[in-house]
Amino acid sequence: MIVAVLLGVFLGLVWFSLRYAWWRPALDYRYPRILMYHMIATPRPGARFNGLRVSPQRFERQLRWLSARGWRSFTMSELLARAGTLPEKAFAITLDDGYADNLLQALPLLKKYRCKATLYLVVDRFDRDWSTQRKKYHDEGELKGEAKLSDQQVRELLESGCVELGSHSMTHANFLCIESAAVRWELEESRRELEKRFAVSVSSFAYPFGLYRPEQVELVKQAGYSSAVTTREGIENADSWQPLELRRIKISGKDSWLAFLLRMRGGRRGWR
């Protein structure tokens, strides 16, 4: 019995060490951290997508820690414009999809800690169950049922001065499953529509599901975007990054506090 417990603890430590590489030195703090969030909401018992729900309490703890430790917040366009002259400990908060809690829960905390965020908004986001576009069996309607930001709520976010607008496509399509012409439409039409509807310029894109084919990167550029974020986990060196395929740090509602600290620290294999 005791042997089994010790073995369990040992295997747990091995798993944790391999996953977070805590023994490696922290990744250079001149490399900005781009944080990926979706909902700022309390996880629901038994729900499939709780990884996408970071509770407001947890979000506040993260912002408090970042500001106390001297991290400085930027929007994605600021990050791009200042590449090469960024201070140490620069970070960008990104919010994908356009959930109503981004206004109701996240904005008050962004204001409190003087942080900025980039909202990657799906134009046609109401009554859509985009999780089925990735996996057909994800058909419980869980994300479809989540309240999305109305256009008026998006305006409130933008008027706060804390939030920049980016595109997350027209319909949250899976780029691996559609033709080039459709990809082009998702890219160009969403940018045009967002700029018209909200009277702001839109220069950054987030690939739906983080899925795309290598040749589609050129289409993102042709559509007029100067940066694009993926869901690949990692930290970029702004001197040598590929601005249309930026990696991010996934902030999951399922992670422990220690996991958050280790993700910010970086140093995992393949993250450079």
Nearer to Zn ion, 59 or 130 (CB): 130
- Min dist CB 129 to Zn ion, Å, is 12
- By C-alpha distance, which of 238, 168, 235, 237 is closest to 207? 168
Site string for Zn ion, 17-36 (x = CB under 5 A): --------------------
Nearer to Zn ion, 50 or 265 (CB): 50
Nearer to Zn ion, 187 or 238 (CB): 187
Nearer to Zn ion, 37 or 260 (CB): 37
- By C-alpha distance, which of 160, 176, 165, 179 is closest to 225? 165
Rounded CA-CA distance 181/130 in Å is 20
Q: In this structure, what token pair is assigned to residue 73? A: 């917040």
- Min dist CB 178 to Zn ion, Å, is 15
CA 140: distance to chain centroid? Answer: 23
Q: Do 194 and 158 meet the contact criterion of CB atoms below 8 Å apart?
A: no
**Site size for Zn ion, by CB under 5 A?**
2
Site string for Zn ion, 153-172 (x = CB under 5 A): --------------------
- Min dist CB 202 to Zn ion, Å, is 16
The answer to the question of residue 146 lying near Zn ion (CB under 5 A) is no
Q: Do 167 and 191 meet the contact criterion of CB atoms below 8 Å apart?
A: yes
- Min dist CB 3 to Zn ion, Å, is 46
- Min dist CB 124 to Zn ion, Å, is 13
CA distances from residue 97 to 102, 172, 173 in whole angstroms, order as listed: 10, 8, 12
Site string for Zn ion, 178-217 (x = CB under 5 A): ----------------------------------------
75-84 burial, b at 16+ Cβ within 10 Å, e below that, comes to bbbbbbeebe
Nearer to Zn ion, 27 or 76 (CB): 76
Nearer to Zn ion, 67 or 150 (CB): 150
Q: Do 194 and 202 meet the contact criterion of CB atoms below 8 Å apart?
A: yes
Q: Do 270 and 31 meet the contact criterion of CB atoms below 8 Å apart?
A: no
Nearer to Zn ion, 60 or 140 (CB): 140
What's at 64, amino acid-wise? R
Rounded CA-CA distance 206/222 in Å is 15
Site for Zn ion in 84-143 (CB under 5 A): 96-97
Q: How many CB atoms lie within 10 A of CB 15?
A: 10
- Min dist CB 29 to Zn ion, Å, is 29
Phi, psi of 227 (to 5 degrees): -150, 155
- Min dist CB 233 to Zn ion, Å, is 16
Site string for Zn ion, 46-85 (x = CB under 5 A): ----------------------------------------
Nearer to Zn ion, 27 or 97 (CB): 97
Q: In this structure, what token pair is assigned to residue 217? A: 């990167």
Which spans of this chain sit near Zn ion (rule: CB under 5 A)? 96-97
